[in-house]
Amino acid sequence: MNKLYIGNVSAEASEEDFESIFEQWKIPHSGPFLVKSGYAFVDCPDEKAAMRAIDVLSGKVELHGKLLEVEHSVPKRQRSCKLQIRNIPPHMQWEVLDSMLAQYGTVESCEQVNTDTETAVVNVRYAAKDQARLVMEKLNGYMMENYALKVSYIPDETAAPEGPGVGGRRGFNARGPPRSGSPGMGARPKVQSDIPLRVLVPTQFVGAIIGKEGATIRNITKQTHSKIDIHRKENAGAAEKPITIHSTPEGCSKACTTIMEIMQKEALDTKFTEEIPLKILAHNNFVGRLIGKEGRNLKKIEQDTGTKITISPLQDLTLYNPERTITVKGSIEACSRAEEEVMKKVREAYESDMAAMNLQSNLIPGLNLNALGLFPSGTPGMGPSMSNFPPSGAHGGCSSFGGQPESETVHLFIPALAVGAIIGKQGQHIKQLSHFAGASIKIAPAEGMDAKQRMVIIVGPPEAQFKAQCRIFGKLKEENFFGPKEEVKLEAHIKVPSFAAGRVIGKGGKTVNELQNLTCAEVVVPRDQTPDENDQVIVKITYKRVHLILNKKCLISGTHFPFPKN
C-alpha cells in the first residue's frame, strides 16, 4: 500500500519538479516518478512515508498553479470495501464518527491509523462495495467542524472480482491500534478488552491531559495503542470528569499510569497540595466479586500493592449511574499495580456473566443479548462495544426472516416539556438516536393543548427498543427533567394479542407476580380493554431501574411467550 497516485497535475509538471517537492518536504521515495497527462505515480519505501506524503502534500502544495491531490494508488480490482478517511477533527468524539459511518451501511471494522498530523485518520471496511462507494460520494469533501474530510480507497487484497464483500476480516491486516466497536460493527480483535478502563480525574487537570491542540492526548493514544475519550461535557460544573480508555488490559494500564504522571506534574507546577488518588469507575454488578467474601480479594490487593482502597457506598448509585467509585491511594507505581489487579477482577466477573447469559440465551429466542446494554457498555459515556453474537435458533413462535428478529412497536411516555430536548436542534438528536439504536423513533402529536405527556413511538427489533428507551430516559435525566433525589417512574406500553393477555397474567396472577418480583416493576394488563383493529391489547409497564427494563420487556414481548399470528 505504498504506491501513490498524484492527481491534478499541470501539463507543465516534470519528474524534476516532483523530485524537488519530495526533497523539500523530506519525503523519501523508492523509485522514479511516472508522470502522465494530468497525473503521476510514485513508490514510497514504506507506509509511513506514503502517509506523510498524503498528509503533507495533498490539497496543500501547489505545482504550476495547481494544488496537488495525493492518495493511495489502488487498482480497480482492489477498489472494494476498504476506505481511508483523513482530516477528521482532532477533538471529535468517536461516537459521533461511528454514528455517521453507520448511516451508509454495515461497518465491519474501523481502525485508527497513527500519523504525525493534528487530525485523525481511520481505515474503514464496509460489508459491501456499494456501501463504500456511497461513502466516497457523500463524505469526500464533507465539512465537519471546519475540517473537510478526505476519503479514498485503499487496496483490499481480499476483494472478490464480483459481488459484494463478505463479512469477516479474512486476510485483513490491521494498520493501527484497534478502536472500539461502531454501531453495526462486527467483533473487535480479541486482544482488546470488552471492558474499558474508566477513571475519574479532577476537572482542573483535564486541560493538561489533553494538551495544546490535543497533542498530549494524541501522544498517549499513540504510545499505548488505545482510544481515549474525555467526557468533558458530562456533569457541567462537576469537580471531576470521567475518562474512558479502550485498549488491551496492558494498554489501558499504561495509559492510566501516564495520565497519573501528567496530573502529578501539573499539581507540582500549579502548587496543588492535595493528594490525587486514582479513582476507578466500575459497574456495581462486578463490585461484590471484586471485594470478595469478607473483603478478602480487596484486602489481598491492598497488601500486594501497598495501597489503601475504598469503594463508594451503594447509596451513591443513581438511576442512570450504576457505577461505583474505587479510590486507590498510594504512589503512582503502587496505584498502577492496584489498577491492574482491580481491573483483572472486574474483567473476570464480566466474562463470567457473559458466559452465563449466553448459556441462557435460548430462553429469549432471536434476541441479541450483547446488544442490549445489560453490562457496562451501556453506562454513560461508554459506547456499545460488545461483540454481536448470532441469534439463537427460532423457538417458541419467534417469527423471523433471514435470522433477523421481528420488529415490534413500543409506546413510551415522556413529559411534554421534554419534546424539544429529545428532538434536538433541527432534529439532530432524534436522528442520531435513531441511527444509534437502529429503530424508527417518532413523537406523536399532543392529545390536547394542556397535555402533560407526549407519546414516543419506537419501532424496531427488541435490542433496538432497549437502546432507544435507555437513551431517551438518559437524555431526560441529563436535561434535569427528574430531580437528583426523585424516584423516577418510567412507563412503557407494549401491545400483545388479546387472546394471549391471560398468559401474561397467569393462573391466579402467578405469572405477572413472578414478573414483578423478578424485575421490581409494575406490570398491568388493564381489564375490560376493547381490542384494537389488530385484535391487540395494551400491557402497561412501570419501572424504577433502567437496568431492569430489559428483563421485564423480554419476558412480556412475543420473543418469550409464543403468540402465534393469525
pLDDT of the residue at 315: 76
pLDDT of the residue at 328: 96
DSSP 449: T
Burial of 406 by CB count in 10 Å (0-12 exposed, 13-18 middle, 19+ buried)? middle
Cβ neighbors of 530 (< 8 A, separation 6 or more) are none
Query: Which sign does the torsion angle of CA 389, 390, 391, 393 carry?
Result: negative
| 8 A C-beta contact, residue 476 and residue 468 | no
Crossing angle for the helix pair 332-359 and 284-291, to the nearest 10 degrees: 110
Crossing angle for the helix pair 510-519 and 549-556, to the nearest 10 degrees: 160
pLDDT for 51-104, tens place per residue? 788 888 888 889 998 889 888 787 666 667 888 898 888 777 766 777 788 888
pLDDT of the residue at 386: 34
First to last CA, the chain: 57
Dihedral angle over CA of 471, 475, 481, 483, nearest 10? 80
Q: How confident is the model at residue 157 (pLDDT cuts 50, 70, 90)?
A: low
The pairs formed by 525-531 with CB atoms below 8 angstroms and a separation of 24 or more are 525/501, 529/498, 529/501, 531/498
DSSP E strands in 119-192: the ranges are 120-126, 143-144, 147-148, 150-153
Query: What's the whole-number average pLDDT of the chain?
Result: 75
DSSP 205: G
Say which residue, 266 or 528, is predicted with more confidence.
266
pLDDT for 223-234, tens place per residue? 888 889 888 766
Query: Which sign does the torsion angle of CA 469, 475, 478, 479 carry?
Result: negative
Q: How confident is the model at residue 392 (pLDDT cuts 50, 70, 90)?
A: very low
Cβ neighbors of 449 (< 8 A, separation 6 or more) are none
Strand partners, 454: 414
Distance CA 462, CA 448 (A): 31
Most confident of 177-186, 388-397, 501-510, 539-548: 501-510
Q: What string of DSSP letters covers 362-398?
A: GGSTT--GGGTT-SGGGSTT-------PPPPP--TT-
Mean pLDDT score, 357-375: 47
Query: How far is the CA of 288 from the CAs of 314, 342, 433, 473, in angstroms?
Result: 11, 12, 33, 27
pLDDT of the residue at 171: 33
pLDDT of the residue at 307: 95
Most confident of 122-126, 251-255, 437-441: 251-255
pLDDT at 179 over 90: no
pLDDT at 152 over 80: yes
pLDDT at 479 over 80: no
Lowest model confidence (mean pLDDT) among 179-188, 449-458, 459-468: 179-188
Mean pLDDT score, 332-358: 86
pLDDT of the residue at 406: 64
Distance CA 386, CA 552 (A): 22
Mean pLDDT score, 29-43: 87
Most confident of 132-146, 179-193, 541-555: 132-146
Cell matching residue 541: 409497564
Q: How confident is the model at residue 175 (pLDDT cuts 50, 70, 90)?
A: very low
Residue type, 496: V
pLDDT of the residue at 299: 94
pLDDT for 325-339, tens place per residue? 999 999 999 999 999
Query: Strand, coil or helix: what is 542?
Result: strand
